[in-house]
Amino acid sequence: MSERLPTYFVSHGGGPWPWMKDSVGPAYDKLEASLVDIKRQIGVRPRAVLCVTGHWETRDFLVSSSAAPGMIYDYGGFPPHTYQIQYPAPGDPALAARVAELLGAAGMTAGTDPQRGLDHGTFSMLYPIYPEADMPVVQMSIRHDLDPAVHMAAGRALASLREEGVLIVGSGLSYHNLRQFGPGGRVASQQFDAWLQHVLLDLPPAERKDALLNWSAAPSARVAHPHEDHLLPLMVALGAAEYEPGAMVYHEDDFFGNLAVSSFRFGRAAG
């Protein structure tokens, strides 16, 4: 594939929401529509998806390498049927090895994990895009050190995959403070989201990079992300498209009734 696919940072929502429409009603309609629209934006069928998930932290980068990954129900308090969900997308061991190889060539320790299954940051986000579960999926962890420069460098190391038909998606949330998911998080989410939009959409590449490397100085940064596991996938997605324009592909100010959240694309859309 000669087309260079864009990359994405997706705010993936809460828990297994695509399987809870009877109880959540229209709460996720805008997010779902934005995910479905990714197909139109990329214009081609990728060879595979590489999902950098905020739900998998490891000392060194690891890449899921099972040919048939299982399911990880990494959530609690949801209806019983959500612990029986199956999203039987195939894995891609060859791609997993390629990801680890590229990271290693860039001086980062990386390995593969044949036991790792799909967590909800991956399968809940992918289901609206590929409901048939026929798109090969490989997951990549974030590192325990949560170093934004390292994660941006990892994206840079993986950039060539975009010309090999691999869709790189960072899956997290632009606001992730579970203790203030509701009215208490409204102002902080708005302040941080406004900053994030300005940085990703308005600044030239060098300034954008510097601002993200110093993200913790942003307004309400540590309220929005007390633990930045759901922000670090953004660094990988941006690093893989470091000098390309950003676009906001999803935004709402009333997520969970109160919060501002957004998703972004880096690189131009085909459709």
Domains delineated in the chain: 7-266 (3.40.830.10)
pLDDT tens per residue across span 175-232: 999 877 878 889 999 999 999 999 999 999 999 999 999 999 999 999 999 999 999 9
C-alpha span between 208 and 195 (Å, rounded): 11
Spatial strand order of the sheet with 166-172 comes to 110-113, 61-64, 137-143, 48-58, 166-172, 7-11, 259-266, 246-255
Q: Do residues 218 and 196 make contact, with C-beta atoms less than 8 angstroms apart? A: yes
Q: Check whether 24 has a pLDDT greater than 90.
A: no
Q: Check whether 1 has a pLDDT greater than 70.
A: no
pTM of the model: 0.97
> Is the dihedral angle over the CA atoms 154, 155, 160, 161 positive or is it negative?
positive
HSE-up (13 A, CA, CB side) for residue 262: 21
